[in-house]
Amino acid sequence: MICDRWAKAVPTLCRAMRQVRDRRDDVAPVAPEPTRARPVVLATLAVRVHPSAERMAIDSAIEAGVPLLIVNLIPLPPFVRTMVLIGPEGTTLPHEEDLDALRATARRAADLGVKTELLRVRTRHAVKALLEVLRERDAGLLVFGPHLGMVGRLRFRTTARRVRRDADCLVWIAPDG
């Protein structure tokens, strides 16, 4: 060894080398900390969900073993008298929201064993409300997929662009987005 030969010439170096230890021996294995389940959010704009978006959201929730949250963003028109007399429920007529199709999507996911929650959000600012839901629920994946035949292409693209820019989680946009 080097210190045996040079011990008299460089004594401080040899003392320091005897104190050097291998880092691999000092490191204790650390058990991986289990990650917290972050739900998958499937969002739409008061219309039925695009089939590929539904498939992506349900498959992702099954694969990750996390709950699925279906968010229906319903525009809230400025009907002041209706709001005062009836409440926000009276501002949306049954034909303006495709609730039966969304319930069918939730039922299909629940039949596959996914814990599912359907959330109806009435708002004047859809993107802000969706981002707030994502933050509150600490979402891991947002699948944004309103059916394009029922939502205008311009509205879909501007909403998708803002969601993609401002979301704090992974974002998957339905085809043609």
- pLDDT digits 0-9 by tens, 87-112: 666 556 565 677 888 899 999 999 99
The pLDDT-based confidence of 60 (bands split at 50, 70, 90) is very high
Q: Is residue 24 part of a domain?
A: no
Range of the domain at 110: 40-173
* CATH code assigned at 153: 3.40.50.620
Task: Please indicate whether residue 161 or residue 74 has the higher confidence score (pLDDT).
Answer: 161
Q: Is residue 67 part of a domain?
A: yes
Q: Is residue 101 part of a domain?
A: yes
Question: What angle do the packed helices 99-111 and 51-64 form, to 10 degrees?
Answer: 30
Is it the case that residue 138 has pLDDT exceeding 90? Answer: yes
The pLDDT tens digits for 26-38 are: 555 555 555 578 9
Q: Structurally, how many domains does the chain consist of? A: 1
Question: Which residue carries 């080097």 as its tokens?
Answer: 2
Report residue 74 as tokens. Answer: 């319903």
Q: Is residue 169 part of a domain?
A: yes
The pLDDT tens digits for 61-83 are: 999 999 999 999 988 766 656 55
Could you tell me the pTM of the whole model? 0.72
Q: Is residue 7 part of a domain?
A: no
Report residue 132 as tokens. Answer: 């707030």
The pLDDT of residue 74 is: 85
Is it the case that residue 22 has pLDDT exceeding 60? Answer: no
Q: Which residues contact 147 (CB under 8 A, 6 or more apart)?
A: 44, 47, 48, 49, 50
Distance CA 164, CA 145 (A): 13
What is the percent of the chain with per-residue pLDDT over 70, rounded to a whole number?
68
What 3 state SS string does the chain have? CHHHHHCCCCHHHHHHHHHCCCHHHHCCCCCCCCCCCCCEEEEECCCCECHHHHHHHHHHHHHHCCCEEEEEEEECCCCHHHHHHCCHHHHCCHHHCCHHHHHHHHHHHHHCCCCEEEEEEEECCHHHHHHHHHHHHCCCEEEECECCCCCCHHHHHHHHHHHHHHCCCEEEECCCC
Q: Is residue 16 part of a domain?
A: no
Q: Is residue 94 part of a domain?
A: yes
Q: Is residue 35 part of a domain?
A: no
